[in-house]
Amino acid sequence: MSPKYIINLLIVVAGGFLVVASRAFAPDIAGWLGLGVGLLALVLAGVGLAASRLQVRSIGYGATALVGIWTVVSSVVFAGSALGWLVFADAVALVVVALVELTVHEVTTERVVHTLVVSKTGELQSV
């Protein structure tokens, strides 16, 4: 498995956990969990950017980092029910960004596999 797939899968799992936790726990606890998941998203986005060597396809990690930064800021600044709903929205945004990044990764991988055919002599030919 590629590192990009693993990183995005970890972000989806963390975001999914935060979606459930933001509705199951009190807003204060959800805020602290949002802080932790936001920091985790920042670390994973940094690792993803380092692993992808700042290619054009690494834009998703930039979006993940922005959502992670906003999650950290909103979990520290806001309180009460607004905090609970912001943590929920941030978690959904993390899941959506990671799923879009996973889809783009898989579509481009599949496209490459389907457009190249290996001949018997070992040369690559376009279909």
CA distances from 17 to 1, 43, 61 (A): 23, 17, 19
Q: Give residue-wise pLDDT tens across range 53-111.
A: 766 667 888 999 999 999 999 999 999 999 999 999 999 999 999 999 888 877 776 55
Query: What six digits make up the tokens of 80?
Result: 């009460």
Domain extent, residue 31, equals 3-126
Phi/psi of residue 125, nearest 5 degrees: -125, 145
Q: Residue 2: what residue type?
A: S
Number of domains in the chain: 1
Place of tokens 């920042």: 42
Which residues 6+ apart lie within 8 Å of 47 measured at CB? 3, 7
Q: What pTM did the predictor assign?
A: 0.80
